[in-house]
Every structure is written in structure tokens, then in C-alpha cells.
Amino acid sequence: MKPNKPIHVVHLIYRLDIGGLERVLVNCINAMPSEQYKHSVIALTDYSDEFSKLIEKDVNLYAIHKPEGHSWKAFWHVLKKLWQLKADVLHSYNLPTLEYQVCGLLSGIQNRIHAEHGRDIYDPEGKNKKYQLLRKIVSPFLNKFVCVSEDLYLWLKHTVNIAPGKCELIYNGIDTDKYQLKTHKIVINNTQQNKFVFGCVGRLQAIKDHKLLISAYALACIQDKHFSQSTQLSIIGDGPLRSTLEEQVDCLPVSDNIWFAGARHDMEKVYHSFDTFIMSSLGEGIPMTMLEAMSTGLPVISTNVGGIPEIVSEKTALLVPPANAEQLAAAMLNMFSVKDEIQFQNMRIAARKEVVERFSEENMVNRYQRLYQ
């Protein structure tokens, strides 16, 4: 590689659309100096034109349009594209892209990195032996496995048995200057100034378990009339389960309390319309949405899964077991009951402090730059 020539990084992703993993990719590209790094993005399926506009650098985007299941044609298209791009680094993301690291080897890319950002609904606890074996088989072709949480890092080393020298922990980070502490509540669209808003942000897919969240909120409303009259559940995001979830809400007596906002790009305003951030996932890595919400001073209610215990503590959050509507409802009622007390304000301050001190975007980007070099 010639001196002063930018390092060319090819990012291989299943689909470039709204999501935490995708936000990490875009934020890293935007933060890295153009004179030192050149980026290309290959989406195995497709990419969203609207989301791709968030990339502020001159980046080439390619869509392979891979069908469901295994596809040798897609494998060949990725290999051919990598030959053409002549990249220095291949950075793939999550299980669906892992096997394509073989294409990186065959096309002569020297630095091959695979990032584990979290597990999907088919294997939320990482127990699937077939998926573990795939990681073991591909491991010799990789320079590094990157894990975004200690939960994933320890699982790769001790359960999958990847060599410790091949595993690196890099926490997700956010721009805390962009997501400032909320000083006053903002009303957006269907939110109401006089209601206490529980806000959930995430793609509407099974791993996020919005069905349970809606059931838990409805249960809390049944148990406390004042809660029912004084709260709202805002669900931000879109995805394959939206119509199913809307049908679930339509059958509830508190349907007017639940708002589906769809995908949003004005997230700073969205967080400032919430009073508490809530998440009901069956599995998570280090969710960017939770970090952003905490940076704006939002206390958290969440299922105790994946890397979430690494982000929050009893000073900032109420954690409950996954797939338990009764305990999630109880946590909502608890948070609502302390909304006017000093405990709630202390949670807001501690949430912001935790993210600023431990999850900065600058640190994350510096770690990835060192890997690329």
C-alpha cells in the first residue's frame, strides 16, 4: 500500500436500513477522516435510499439482492465485487454475512474483520451448535472477531471456543454532544404534554418482543386506573411485524394510549418527548437506542438480556426477566409511581453520566481505526 493512500474498507452487511448495527456503521464512516479512509458498502439484500442519505462521505453502495436461504449466485457476486474493489479491509457484520469472509480471502483482502453486534430470534442465547460451528470454521480466515458487549466476548471465547487473541471487545459509542440532557419536554405528533410517556425505539421484529411490551402496558393499565389515564406508550420504528402489532393494539381497551410512530430520523426530538425509555427484547448486544436515550437523561426499563446489564445499573434502570409481562408491567407501575420523587431525577442524571463516561463515539471510532490499520 502506497504512503498517504487512504485505507479502503469494505463493509459487508445484510441490509442497510434503520437499526442499531447500521447506525454504528454509518457513524463510524462519518467520523473517520476522508484523507485516511475510503469506504464502500455491500448490502447482501438491499439498502434504503433514505437511510443511506445519513452517510455524509462519498461512499459507493452496492446491493446483491440475495434471495432467502443459501445462494451460490450471491456468493459469486460478492466475490466478483470484492475483486473489483481491491479493498484493504473487509468488515462484515453479524451471522448472515460471516460465510462471505471466504470471499475476502479468495479476493486477496489482507485484513478481515467480523463484528458480532447481537444474536437474532433464531438463536437469542447463542446455543445453536450449527451457528457455533460456522463461526469455528470461518475463524481461521479472520484476523479479528469484534464483539460489542462483554456478554458476546465471553461467549465467543468460552462457548464457541474462538482463540482469545482473535477476539476484541469494542463497545458501541454515541455522540453525546448530539444527544443532550433533556431540559424540557417536547411534544411531537401524537404525544401529549400532560401524559407520562414510555418510549420504545427499535425495528418491529420478533427479537424485540413488542408483543410482550404491548401486553405488559395493557396489564399495567388494567391494574391502575390512574396509570391508564395518565400514561402513553410510544413505539418508534418499522418492520415486518407492524401490521400484526397494530391489530393487537386495536383489540385493547387502551388502544388510544398506544402510538405507532413509524421510522423517524429526528431522534433527538423523539427522546425529548419521552419520560422513560423501555425495551422488551429477547436478546441484545449494546443497543444504540438505549445509549442515546440515556444520554438525554432518560431512566430505563428493560429486559435483562445480552449486554444490557453492562450499560445500566440500579442507579439508572429497572431490569426484568425477558418474556414476563407481569414483571414488565410492575416495572412500569413502579417507574410511574416515583416520577415526582428525587429518585427519578437521580436516575436521569446518572443515566447521562454513565454514557458520557463509558460509551463515547470517539473512543469507539479510535478502536476501529486501530483495527483497520
Query: Does residue 106 have a pLDDT over 60?
Result: yes
Query: Does residue 29 have a pLDDT over 70?
Result: yes
Q: What is the DSSP string of 161-223?
A: ---GGGEEE----B-TTTSPPPSS----TT--TTSEEEEEES-SSGGG-HHHHHHHHHHHHHH
Average pLDDT, the chain: 95
Task: Give the DSSP H or E segment for 153.
Answer: helix 150-158
Residue 317, C-alpha cell as written in the block? 434502570
Alpha-carbon distances of 5 from 34, 55, 108, 362, 370, rounded to whole Å? 11, 21, 18, 23, 16
Give the dihedral sign, CA 38/43/46/48: negative
- 165, 140 contact by CB (below 8 A): no
* Cβ atoms within 10 Å, residue 141: 17
Residue 88, C-alpha cell as written in the block? 484493504
CA distance 106 to 92: 15
Query: Does residue 182 have a pLDDT over 90?
Result: no
Query: Does residue 267 have a pLDDT over 70?
Result: yes
pLDDT in the model for residue 3: 56
CA distance 181 to 172: 19
Residues making up the chain, counted from first to last: 373
Higher pLDDT, 70 or 258: 258
Residue 22, C-alpha cell as written in the block? 447500521
pLDDT in the model for residue 1: 45
Strand partners, 167: 145
Instruction: Select from 236, 224, 231 the least CA-distant residue to 197.
Output: 231
Query: Band of the pLDDT at 189, cuts 50, 70, 90?
Result: confident
CA distance 31 to 363: 11
- Per-position b or e across 181-219, b if 16+ CB within 10 A of its CB: bbeeeeebeebeeebbbbbbbbbbbebbbbbbbbbbbbb
Question: pLDDT tens across 202-255, in order?
Answer: 999 999 999 999 999 999 999 999 999 999 999 999 999 999 999 999 999 999
Question: pLDDT tens across 320-353, in order?
Answer: 999 999 999 999 999 999 999 999 999 999 999 9
Which domains are seen in the chain, by residue range?
A: 7-170 (3.40.50.2000), 196-358 (3.40.50.2000)
- 277, 290 contact by CB (below 8 A): yes
Sheet holding 60-63, edge to edge: 60-63, 37-43, 7-13, 89-93, 111-116, 144-147, 167-169
Amino acid at 370: R
CA distance 363 to 369: 10
Query: Does residue 141 have a pLDDT over 50?
Result: yes
User: How is residue 339 annotated by DSSP?
Assistant: T
Higher pLDDT, 372 or 1: 372
Residue 91, C-alpha cell as written in the block? 468488515
Decide: pTM greater than 0.85: yes
| Residue % of the chain over a pLDDT of 70 | 98
Q: 315 by DSSP, 3-state: which?
A: coil
